[in-house]
Structure 1
């Protein structure tokens, strides 16, 4: 197996600044998902004259995640073929333009098109920044920065929702201006990030050594973990409403507490990353027990406890599975591997509410539907322990 690319050793501060610059872009997909969520009702009212507004507005909100899922593998191939840094800079610039475009657009189909292009840019941003993190870090340092990337994604959602709501008080178009801040990341990338040199003995764009079986297993587990995770932030409000708790403040507190548990999981992941496959099994077990706790809880504290267990499992799952996927992958396949992994994660995000709604329709209730996914998560804990028993987490 080929080793990781040999990269030029840089001073500690410069290496840290480079890695920080590469975890910042993870905010952008989160921004696309949550920033405009508080103004969805206002957007629907603004286009009330359109008979399809009830369908098109949700499509405009969710289509970036779908495009990210579909185009991440292509972005990975382009990153391997033409370089990560140039594609990252170009994607950041186009992201900013597409992000702010709805401020001036007056037709829903055109807004949907701009949001679709935004998602394609997110695919390139996430794939290139993650591949560069893996290019410039090995072993425990790689695990550290992948965990920090997960932490950044989780924690940024909370202030972004608040900012979106505050700006939405002015006008439904105002929150879209925040997308323009993506251009501020460009100077940091240009000045602080280096393109890693290509391995001399690895032909550009080669696919012969791509570990298809390993990525099939890890990709399916990543898709499942993502699908299971997004049940909590999307459905927790409905579960609390069943207990008569409809206060936005309490719903926000429960969601935020679950998100903080992701931070704890991501930090503990660094200590577990060399412990074999048991952490992968434990993550699905935590998510399954967390979901069961949420639906069986009789009070607010019980639901929050379930959300904490659930978030803790996800906090370990994402960086752990990504580290397993990238371990030992040579430079010329690393972008492709990152793209496949990111595609799996965001397909899971897109399918999560659709899957819950489908099972809800069959079983006639949200609680039995979530119980099904809790049992599935526990079964996946066993599957992860078996299927990943020979998978490495180091380089």
Structure 2
């Protein structure tokens, strides 16, 4: 079937693969039931939402090379199918090690086409069409996450195994993409020097602005906090509202807040400039304190969860918008990949970080990690303000 790239159905197929790209946390509402039935710890259950990102961090680096060898369209399709295969395994098994391995397989699928979902838009489209589709691609991730969270919550009524049925959607998505979207080729993205000679990784790392690594650490904290709230929220709901409370529908509101926040980013950035970053930090501080100090008040927990949908939608666009002025054109791809590795690391270690905080504080309180995370962002806010003040005075 040959359909022109400019057709509506091709654009829809290109965007469809992003619907399921960030769906790993969509089954968070099932974690309390899984923890009880499988006899696993809080951290082990929360890792089921975050462990795919170990594989994502590895394969997002390899995906460009793999796509050059086997073709972009083929690699994307295989990636979507792996999400589906790995995703549905827990429908049929009750073994924690097997489920953990299946989640890693999902991560391999996501990592294979995480960057290619952007590359194929850049290759097929230009100008305003490309810009609009890139914007819609980000929205598709949030829309998919919200929809899958809501559906997983509804399916939870029939038992936690059924929540994983959401990943059956990967198979029609893979077929839709394979039969509609034309294949593309991507050139090697290895940077070169002024003489056209390929730069080795040692040279790339040496040339990269060291501040990029600070931003990667910042990305770890941003995503860690977001994921910590998402995976801990269902357990808090069960403690506050009772074991029968289904948090899936409520949790699906978080990515919807992210969609709205992302939609107004341009306006906020135009009005406030760097103030966008400050506002994002303040939102995280507020979210953490609302949850951490809620003391069983569900309205405060809910408000904190919703507010936490804002920061990543403002902080990351601000960071990437200024990337070209932070580092050289030869190292911008490496810098961007470094920050993406930071985001995947933050996702994976979120449950471990919460466990570590609770261990240090000698408490099993579900709320304990959030005042600490809020304190960390207060320190970052103070440090950023001091840096900007010193810079302004020395100018």
**In 2: Cα distance, 1:371 partner to 1:200 partner:** 42
Instruction: Show the counterpart of 2:81.
Output: 93
Structure 2 counterpart of 1:373? 373
User: 1:216 aligned to 2:213?
Assistant: yes
Distance across 1 between alignment mates of 2:388 and 2:127: 18
Q: Greater relative contact order: 1 or 2 (C-alpha under 8 angstroms, separation 6 or more)?
A: 1
* 1:270 paired residue number: 266
Shift of residue 265, structure 1, vs aligned partner: 0.9
Tell me whether 33-42 or 110-119 shows the greater mean CA deviation: 33-42
Aligned residue number for residue 310 of structure 2: 312
Gaps of 5+ in 2: 390-395
1:321-336 matches, within 5 Å, as 321-325=319-323, 334=333
User: Residues of 2 paired with 1:61 and 1:304: CA distance?
Assistant: 20
Listed as ranges, the matches of 1:89-168 within 5 Å are 89-103=77-91, 108-134=96-122, 145-168=133-156
Which residue does the alignment assign to 2:392? none
User: Normalising by the residue count of structure 2, what TM-score does the alignment of the two structures yield?
Assistant: 0.72
Q: Does the 8 Å CA contact 1:36/1:176 hold for their aligned counterparts? A: no
| 2:23 match | 31
Q: Which is further off, 273-282 or 372-381?
A: 273-282
1:233 CA displacement: 2.4
Alignment partner for residue 283 of structure 2, among 281, 286, 292? Answer: 286
Q: Is the 8 A contact 1:67 1:120 kept in 2?
A: yes
Question: Per-residue deviation at 1:175?
Answer: 4.5
Matched residue pairs, number?
Answer: 373
Structure 1 residue runs without a partner (length 5+): 1-9, 390-395
Following the alignment from structure 2 to structure 1, what is the Cα–Cα distance between the partners of residues 55 and 236?
30
- Between stretches 146-155 and 248-257, larger displacement belongs to 248-257
Question: What CA deviation, in whole Å up to 9, does each residue of 1:120-142 have, x standing for no partner?
Answer: 11111222213434556778876
TM-score normalised by structure 1 residue count? 0.72
Aligned-pair distance for 1:226? 0.3
Please say if 1:234 is aligned against 2:231.
Answer: yes
Structure 1 counterpart of 2:177: 189
Q: How far off its partner does 1:374 sit?
A: 1.0
Aligned-pair Cα RMSD in Å: 4.5
Q: Deviations over 1:302-336 (max 9, x none)?
A: 444333332222222344434545789879975x6
Q: CA offset at residue 283 of structure 1?
A: 1.4
Partner Cα distance (1:283, 1:143) in 2: 24
